[in-house]
Amino acid sequence: MKKFDKERVLLAVAGPVIALAVAFALTSVVLIASGKNPVEPYTLMFEQASFSDIQVLIINQASMYYIAALAVAIGFRMNLFNIGVDGQYQLAAMIAAVVGAHVNLPAFLQIPLLLLTAVFTGAFWSGIAGVLKVTRGVSEVVATIMLNAIATSVIAYLWLPSVFGVKVGNNNTTGEMHESGWVPGIDLGAAGEIYGLVFLAVLLGVVYWVVLNRTRFGFDLRASGASESAAAASGVDPKRMVLTAMLISGGIAGLAGLPILLGDTHTYSLNFPTGIGFLGIGIALLGRNNPTGIAFAALLWAWLDKASPELDFHDYDKEIAVIMQGLIVLAVVVSYEAVREWGLRRQQRRVGAELAAGHVLGATASATGIAADNNAQKEVAGR
């Protein structure tokens, strides 16, 4: 590996490593301040990760986190902050559940129908913010925050018993989906079942990397995110790219809730997971918008979620994991900026050294040339 490549890898890894180290250290300080053992909680959570049933829970949870983080990352690569992933995936899951409960096709048609329903619902909801941005200049942050609130109200209306909802005790649901729309997983016996759509998350990660790094569209997307004026000069329509990025981000976000919807609950109710979209922001930041980095970050977040309940049985608050997640997000921002400045200074020093070396070589060559000219003139005069 070339020296430049080693330095690039070092800069890419340094940010997440520093962020995690700082987050663990600060969490330990919080534990010490509260009179608790600063090491035992980590030991307990690491022990939990060795149990097969917890491993299955971590993988299943990470699949949803991963898809949500990919949706956020697409926006980040375009310099867009799609903070509306939470509303997009919840509304998409709700509509997919309604369709799955009222439409009964063969499995080879039903499952693609539900996937496309979720994709188009998420894309439509994020597309509203995209249209507002390119036509009226409305910040996508403000628009998607408002759309999150509206999505919550739409969901509350749609699952009323008088609309699409079904009353079950004190809870409303969309009714159980037809079995043709259930996605079978990998049954591991007593350990549980890995969701079948975990493989969809893996596929999305591969497609994300290929599109961004090996296609003209990916180059245009990254170029528009880096500089709209430069992209426009090269023939790229920045407004079209903004709208396209928002549609794709929302479409992927719409799939974030489907692993559990089609693999476990088979209905949408008050018990359906919430907040995944917001967690996806921190995961995308920690993973540096790289599909591999996001995968490790999603597994870390899922581990903190699924291993922390054990802390309650040992006189520790499971909210320690939430504190750590928050500290990771804060540390990521600071550490990435510090690493960026460090890398910039190294690059400046390297360029300065190369210029200085070039100046010395030029001066040496010039002196050698002058000396050669003087010798030649002496020889001519001697003749």
Give φ, ψ of 269 to 5 degrees.
-145, -175
Q: What does the chain come to in residues?
A: 383
The DSSP code sequence of 214-279 is HSHHHHHHHHHHH-HHHHHHTT--HHHHHHHHHHHHHHHHTTTTHHHIIIII-S-BTTS---HHHH
State residue 366's pLDDT score.
58
Three-state SS at 171: strand
| Percent of the chain at pLDDT exceeding 90 | 57
* Cβ-contact 71, 201 below 8 angstroms: no
Give residue 231's pLDDT. Answer: 80
Q: Are 231 and 242 in contact, with CB atoms under 8 Å apart?
A: no
pLDDT number for residue 298: 97
Residue 105: φ, ψ to 5°: -110, 170
Nearest alpha-carbon partner for 74 in 209, 167, 188, 176: 209
Residue type present at position 230: A
Name the residue with higher pLDDT: 101 or 372.
101
Smallest CA-to-CA distance from 182 within 105, 272, 275 is with: 105
Q: What is the pLDDT of residue 259?
A: 97
**Where do we find the tokens 């009222």?**
102
85-100 per-position pLDDT tens digit:
999 999 999 999 999 9
The reported pLDDT for the residue numbered 226 is 81
Inform me whether the pLDDT recorded for 59 exceeds 90: yes
Check whether 376 has a pLDDT greater than 70.
no
Report residue 257: phi and psi, to 5°. -95, -5
| pLDDT average, residue stretch 369-379 | 54
Q: How would residue 375 be classed by pLDDT, with cut points 50, 70 and 90?
A: low
Tell me the pLDDT tens digit for each residue of 333-361.
Answer: 788 778 777 777 777 777 777 777 766 55
pLDDT at residue number 3: 47
- In the chain, what percentage of residues exceed pLDDT 70? 91
37-315: which CATH topology?
A: ABC transporter involved in vitamin B12 uptake, BtuC (1.10.3470)
Cα–Cα distance, 96 to 98 (Å, whole number): 5
**CB-based contacts of 329, cutoff 8 Å, min separation 6:** 281, 282, 285, 286
173-225: pLDDT as tens digits: 999 999 999 999 999 998 999 999 999 999 999 999 999 999 999 988 888 88
pLDDT digits (tens, 9 = 90+) for 100-156: 999 999 999 999 999 999 999 999 999 999 999 999 999 999 999 999 999 999 999
Mean pLDDT calculated for residue range 309-331: 87
Looking at every residue in the chain, the average pLDDT score rounds to: 88
pLDDT in tens, 224-245: 888 888 788 878 888 999 999 9
CATH 1.10.3470 domain position(s) in the chain: 37-315
Tally the C-alpha atoms within 13 A of residue 142's C-alpha that lie toward its C-beta.
6
